[in-house]
Amino acid sequence: MSDTPVKVALVTGASRGIGKAIAERLAEDEFIVVGTATSEAGAAGITEYLQQMQNPGCGMVLQVGDTDNVTAVMAAIKERYEAPAVLVNNAGITRDNILMRMKEDEWGDVIDTNLNALYRTSKAVLRGMTKARWGRIINITSVVGAMGNAGQSNYAATKAGAEGFSRALAREVGSRSITVNSVAPGFIDTDMTRELGDDQRELLQQQIPLGRLGSAAEVAAVVSFLASAQAAYITGETIHINGGMYM
Amino acid sequence: MSSIEERVKKIVAEQLGVKEEEVQTSASFVEDLGADSLDTVELVMALEEEFETEIPDEEAEKITTVQLAIDYINSNLT
C-alpha cells in the first residue's frame, strides 16, 4: 500500500454526526468511502454528500445487529469496489437508564448494536485485510467507557468492551500490518448533545478544561490520521478527544 | 494440470514460507511447518481460492495436516 490511498473505507453509522464527519474526512483523504445507515433515506443521504464531494463511494443500508446483513453488505462492497482496507466502527445507540430501572432490552439492544456488532463487522473485513497485509480498524468509543456516567451502565460497558476488544485483536493481527485502535470522544457537538438543556450544557462545559464542546471534525481528524500510512506503528491504543475532561 | 496433492503442497509452501520439498504429506501445519493460528486461517483462504470453493469454519478447523487438506479437497471437489 502506498501513501496515496485509493482504498475502500467503510464507516458505519455515517448518516449524521461524528460518522458523517469521518466519512467526509476520509473522502477528502481520497478513500473510496462506503457509509452505512439503518434506513434507505439515511443511505441515500450518504450517497448524496459523497457524490457532491466527487467520491465514487456510496451509502448502503446496514443493520449491524444482523450477521447475514453484514455478510451481504460486505459482499456488495467487494462486488462494487473491493474489500475494505479501513473499517470505522462508529454506529452506536444509547438507551439510558439507571441500572435499577433498566429493562433487559435496554441493556441488550445497546450491547448488541455497540459491542456485538464489532464481532460481526471486524470479522467480515479481516479476510481482505490479512490478504492485503494492510488494514485499519478504528472503533469509536467514548470517554464514558473510561470515566463512567450515571445512567449509562449499558453504554459504558460497550465502550470499555470495545477498547478491550481492540487491544486483543491488535495482538492477533499485528503480524499482518493491521492496526486496531479506539478513538474516544468526549462531549462533541452533535444531535445527541444538542438535546441537552442549557443548564446541563453549562455544567458540562465547566468540567472541560478547554471550555467548549468538541466538533465532529476534530474527531474525524484523528480517525483520518489513524487510517493513514503514517499511523502504521500505533496499535491497540485509545486516543481520547475530550478537551481535557478526562486525562 | 498438476495433481491435487501437488497443488496443495505448493500452496502450503507459499503460505508458510517453507520449501516445497519440506512439505511432507504427513506434515502438521502447526507442529511440523511452524504455522501459527493466523497462518492456518490464511492457508485455508488460499486453498479456497485455488480450488474455487468455500470451506466452512467447522471443516476448516479440522484441516490440520497436508494429508487432511488433500483429503478434504478430494472428497468435496471431485
Bridge-based pairing state of the strands A32-37 and A58-61: parallel
Residues of B in contact with A131 (CB under 8 A): 42, 45
Q: What is the pLDDT averaged over residues A226-239?
A: 98
Query: Which grid coordinates belong to B64?
Result: 490440520
**What angle do helix axes A67-80 and A117-132 make, rounded to 10 degrees?**
30
Residue A246 among the catalytic residues: no
Decide if pLDDT at A220 tops 90: yes
Q: Is the pLDDT of residue A224 over 80?
A: yes
Q: Tell me: ipTM over 0.85.
A: no
pLDDT band per the 50, 70, 90 thresholds, residue A211: very high
Do B38 and A127 make contact, defined as CB atoms within 8 angstroms?
no
Among residues of chain A, what percentage have pLDDT more than 90?
A: 91
CA distances from A108 to A179, A244, B32, B49 (A): 29, 31, 45, 38
Per-residue pLDDT at A2: 44
Euclidean distance between CA atoms B31 and B14, whole angstroms: 17
pTM for the predicted model, two decimal places: 0.92
| A127/B45 touch (CB, cutoff 8 Å), yes or no | yes
> From B44, which residue of chain A is nearest by alpha-carbon distance?
A127
- How much is the average pLDDT of A119-145? 96
Per-residue confidence (pLDDT) for residue A6, from 0 to 100: 80
Chain segment B11-42, per-residue pLDDT in tens = 999 999 999 988 999 999 999 999 999 999 99
Q: Do A131 and B45 touch (CB under 8 A)?
A: yes
Locate A126 and state its grid cell.
479481516
Tell whether A117 lies on the interface with B, counting CB pairs under 8 A: no
Supply the pLDDT for residue B73.
Answer: 94
Task: Decide if pLDDT at A202 tops 90.
Answer: no
Residues 6+ apart with CB under 8 A from A32: A6, A7, A8, A9, A55, A56, A57, A81
- Residue A10: CA atoms inside 13 Å, Cβ hemisphere, count? 33
Considering chain B, what is the average pLDDT of its residues? 92
Q: What pLDDT sits at residue A4?
A: 52
pLDDT for residue A1? 42
CB contact under 8 A, A173 and B45: no
Please give the full DSSP string across chain B, using - where no structure is assigned. Answer: ---HHHHHHHHHHHHHT--GGG--TT-BTTTTT---HHHHHHHHHHHHHHTT----HHHHTT--BHHHHHHHHHHHH-
Local structure of A203: helix, strand or coil: helix
pLDDT digits (tens, 9 = 90+) for A133-187: 999 999 999 999 999 999 999 999 999 999 999 999 999 999 999 999 999 999 9
Confidence of residue B64 (pLDDT cuts 50, 70, 90): very high
